Structure 1
Amino acid sequence: MKFQKITLILAFFLYSFIGFSQQKEVQIKASNVANNVYMLVGQGGNIAISVGEDGVFMIDDQFAPLTPKILAAIKSVTDKPVKFLINTHWHGDHTGGNENMQKEGAVIVAHENVRKRMSVDQFNKERNRTTPASPREALPVITFSKDVSFHFNDEDIFIFHVHEAHTDGDAMVYFTKSNVLHMGDTYFQGKYPYIDLNSGGSTQGYIAAIKKALLLINEDTKIIPGHRNVSDKAALQNYVTMLEEIEKNILAEIKAGKSEEEVTKNTLLTKKYDDLKYGDWFISGEVLRKTFYRSLQKLK
């Protein structure tokens, strides 16, 4: 168990922060998703931008050292300034550039729990790691509790909160005209998700969030996940089916009185999807089993 904890700490460190010594090598690539909506990929969460006469509407901003490269990538698409920046949740690989973007004139918007968590130190007991409070200039200046809409670049943009999913402050952003949905980290395309129980996330809420997204979109919707590749409704449906199967397997073990260690070590519970390489990235099958156990045990 000690080795597993150390491995998880190292994996998260690598996922979130590796490469700061190699920022010169990081490239920000912009690709058109649909109409005037683009996705920017670099290091950290996927960025989306809507460009048009009103300016740039931006979702997430990766890490602070990357801001100049991100702005250069945006300028390769449009010479308009960034007017609004939406944070899909509080994690630093999605909000690390906030202070820089605020200085560029962007108005930062997020769910109220994002501002609350960014305003104070966040201690993760599983990793024994504290994330310091963000500077005042990095905090969202407009917050919402449930949903909010923007009417920008000839597009109705619908932003909605999903409860206790990846964190307690997740928001998805739907560009209704372009039919593009940015899901933040409520979707790790093709890989097991990281569900931050320490930040109010839950496996039950994560599944519910995806089901809410599926009700909103159609077969033609382009989905921008928090990480990895542009996706679609069919793939998202398969993803939630995977999570529900694992949930069913682990809940049965909990009801049978199995301990956390027994469930965590039982590779059969996720074998079907381990074999499909869902666990060969950031979150392993072992880590996911533990996460489900801890989130579901209160239902037994």
Structure 2
Amino acid sequence: MKNNYFLLILAGLLSMAATAQMDPATVTIMTTEVTDDVYMLEGRGGNIMIVVSEDKTLMVDSQFAPLSDKIKQTIDSISSNDITYLVNTHHHGDHTGGNENFNSEETTVVAQKNVLERLKSEDKATGYLPELTLDEQIKLKMPNDPNIMVVHVHNAHTDGDSFVYFVDKNVVHMGDVFFKDKYPYIDLNSGGSINGYIAAQQLILKTINEDTHIIPGHGKLATVQDLKNSINMLKDLRDAISLAMSRDQTKEEILANATITKRYDELNYGDGFVNSERIKQTIYNSLKNPNTDK
């Protein structure tokens, strides 16, 4: 319990430090056109999706607040429309930090209900908070885009994750339920779990099709094959650690066993936010204390 509390405090301090030390002048907002009227914006933090539809624009995630002016300039170069919906894929600050800066009178902030509760517990200002919440699923509509699905996935990266699927455009934003070609950060202290994470990826894989464009929470624009690779990697690591645990190997022995992640370390999966030791520790802790697994 003390260790989990320490990790929670440390994560919060690191997030605040990253924001405080950020110099917006050093950050470039990169734009990738995914398909007609759909764009992925990369800066610092989670990837943003922008979808333009006649006189309305939908935005998914808002990155850190210090970057809002640069992000607005980039969006203005794409569309002059007001932002009708700002959808948050979960509550973390690198995806919600700019909420208040984008939340105008024309904008509705949308998120799963647990996101609202977690942001309220952080004493966020009203303009920062979701105004339209979903439990399991909600359908949004915009001109020429009547089939926009926002779907909750349980106890994956957190307890409030949603993916956003534009059915007609065949583009999905997965939030932090997908880190392309990297070990994912699974926030156990916010209700995340390894089994829920894998189940969420499998659900999304069943929902989309082979031609779907995938915007990950972090990383470059992805394909369905990239998602399949992620599922296989996580299942391999989970099964290897589960087997070691069934053989009464200690946590220290498992963390010291480099062969568990060797195949994926060689593919540079551990070069991101989460290294090989941390993903093994996360999976071990999640399997050892599966109270959040569904």
Over 3 Å counting, the alpha-carbon distance change for 1:108 and 1:135 in structure 2 is: same
* Matched-pair contact (CA < 8 Å) for 2:51–2:58: yes
The whole-number CA distance in structure 2 between the counterparts of 1:102 and 1:14 is 22
User: Does residue 219 of structure 2 align to residue 228 of structure 1?
Assistant: yes
1:143 maps to a residue whose letter is T
Q: TM-score, normalised by structure 1?
A: 0.89
Q: Which moved more, 1:37-46 or 1:103-112?
A: 103-112
2:65 aligned residue:
64
Tell me the CA shift for residue 9 of structure 1.
5.2
- State how many pairs are aligned: 284
1:115 aligned residue:
116
Alignment of 1:56-95 (within 5 A): 56-95=57-96
Superposed CA deviations along residues 174-232 of structure 1, whole A, max 9, x for unmatched, are 01111001000000001000000000000000000000011011121100000110011
2:100 aligned residue:
99
SS in 1 for 2:232: helix
Which runs of 5 or more residues in structure 2 are unaligned?
A: none
The whole-number CA distance in structure 2 between the counterparts of 1:15 and 1:280 is 22
The whole-number CA distance in structure 1 between the counterparts of 2:265 and 2:20 is 27
* Matched-pair contact (CA < 8 Å) for 2:57–2:81: yes
Task: Give the superposed CA RMSD.
Answer: 2.2
Q: Which moved more, 1:273-282 or 1:158-167?
A: 273-282
1:142 maps to a residue whose letter is L
Alignment of 1:141-220 (within 5 A): 141-155=131-145, 156-220=147-211
1:127 aligned residue:
none
SS in 2 for 1:218: coil
SS in 1 for 2:273: coil
Over 3 Å counting, the alpha-carbon distance change for 1:14 and 1:170 in structure 2 is: closer
2:287 aligned residue:
296
Tell me the CA shift for residue 103 of structure 1.
3.8
SS in 2 for 1:76: helix
1:96 maps to a residue whose letter is G
Instruction: State percent identity of aligned pairs.
Output: 42
* Matched-pair contact (CA < 8 Å) for 1:251–1:297: no
Tell me the CA shift for residue 298 of structure 1.
4.2
User: Does residue 267 of structure 2 align to residue 276 of structure 1?
Assistant: yes
Tell me the CA shift for residue 153 of structure 1.
3.1
The whole-number CA distance in structure 1 between the counterparts of 2:156 and 2:50 is 24
The whole-number CA distance in structure 2 between the counterparts of 1:144 and 1:294 is 29
Tell me the CA shift for residue 13 of structure 1.
2.8
SS in 1 for 2:269: coil
* Matched-pair contact (CA < 8 Å) for 1:59–1:87: yes
Tell me the CA shift for residue 284 of structure 1.
0.5
1:137 maps to a residue whose letter is G
Superposed CA deviations along residues 41-93 of structure 1, whole A, max 9, x for unmatched, are 11110000110214111100001111111111111011111111000000000
1:35 maps to a residue whose letter is D
1:225 maps to a residue whose letter is P
* Matched-pair contact (CA < 8 Å) for 2:59–2:85: yes
